[in-house]
Amino acid sequence: MASLLVKTIKWTLLILLGLGVALALLIWSITFHPPALQAEPVVNQPGSPTLESGQEVKVLSWNLQYMSGKNYEFWYDHIDGNGPDIRASKEDISTTFNQVAELIIAQNPDVILLQELHDNAKRTDYEDQLQRLLTLLPAEYSNYSESFYWQADFVPLPQIMGSVGMKLAIISKYKLGSALRHQLATIKADPVTDQFNFRRAIQEVALPVADGSKLSLMNTHFDAFAQGSDTMQQQVAYMEQLLAVKNANGEAWVIAGDLNLLPPGQYDLMDEDAKGYYQPTSELERIYEQFKVIPTIAQANGANAKRWFTHFPNRKEIAGPDRTIDFFVHSDHLQVAGAQVIQQNTWHISDHLPMIMTLTLP
């Protein structure tokens, strides 16, 4: 009898172990595990022009909030995760697509850096949003590259319960060269939850210049809701090291995107609820100390600081943009003719406002 009981326990444990291994393999197979550095595909249309030395280049950067518009207060818009809305309607998504395309056409940038586009996500009807946007833009915007930073065939979160896909995209009138994806540090969780988390990244695309040099464009969307961890410090440290190497190599470069961090000094201007998302001393101090950043500290904290606000949180009690969390950082080799946050007629399109800068190549 004792021998039978021992055998039964052993077989039960083996079966449970086998089920655990099978579950772990299943979760791994449906989630995203990119390497530290990965070459990405680039699409170029035949006959696309090449940048010329000394040329002015207009760059637009924008977090599009997966085309959801501003009629919602999503569950993650509350720090406790209890926002009332799950997804945007198809009608609002279509309206937002048209508004985004209209602004891009009106601004006529040479290159576009976009964050938070969906692709094969249940909450946006499995659509490749980059491809849909390209159909709404002039044919000259036909060169592009993309990098995912969230992918899973199924996420067992009550608000999702389906596939997710989120990516960065760079669109250009000009010929693109090689493209890389840089993996950033992730927010650590338990071993199961970690498999379904974001894999934030820096997307890098080289644009060849006719004289044999290149312009390196980098696009990123840092983590949010990383309180209680050093994730933001790690992501800033990676960017700092990457930019320092490029400077040492004499490269011309720009990095832009949603960093989810305040410029130094702006924390003191925030209300108490908003302060809960940030550190009193901004992690971006080390970036401001070493590189050229738009907006400058004086612009972000001066009398006209509102002109540089880029984020309009999805909260009913907030009436307009109230903080700067999107930036341009650029090398000393580039002269900037102008830069601004486009605030006129943009508050209703996304929870982020588009930024533009015009630079001159060496």
Q: Domain count of the chain?
A: 2
- The parent domain of residue 221 ranges over 34-360
pLDDT at 219 exceeding the cut of 90? yes
How far apart are the C-alpha atoms of 163 and 153, rounded to whole Å?
Answer: 4
Q: How confident is the model at residue 5 (pLDDT cuts 50, 70, 90)?
A: low
**pLDDT (0 to 100) of residue 184:** 98
The H or E element containing residue 329 is: strand 326-330
Q: Both 20 and 125 in a single domain?
A: no
Report the DSSP pairing between strands 179-183 and 201-208: antiparallel
Q: Both 115 and 200 in a single domain?
A: yes
Write the single-letter amino acid at 327.
F
Q: Both 97 and 198 in a single domain?
A: yes
DSSP type of residue 75: G
pLDDT, the chain, mean: 94
CA 82 to mean position of chain CA atoms: 23
Give SS3 for 323. Answer: strand
**pLDDT (0 to 100) of residue 2:** 63
How far apart are the C-alpha atoms of 77 and 59, rounded to whole Å?
Answer: 28
pLDDT at 24 exceeding the cut of 90? no
Residue bearing tokens 């644009």: 207
Phi and psi based region of residue 67 (left: phi greater than 0; alpha: psi -120 to 50; beta: remaining): left
Q: What does the pLDDT look like over 113-132, one tens digit per residue? A: 999 999 999 999 999 999 99
Q: Both 70 and 150 in a single domain?
A: yes
Among 177, 116, 121, CA closest to 145: 177
Q: Both 17 and 133 in a single domain?
A: no
Q: What does the pLDDT look like over 220-236, one tens digit per residue? A: 999 987 777 899 999 99
Q: Both 118 and 164 in a single domain?
A: yes
Q: Rounded to the nearest 5°, which phi and psi values hold at 258?
A: -95, 105
Q: Both 12 and 39 in a single domain?
A: no
Q: Both 17 and 120 in a single domain?
A: no
DSSP type of residue 145: E
**pLDDT (0 to 100) of residue 271:** 87
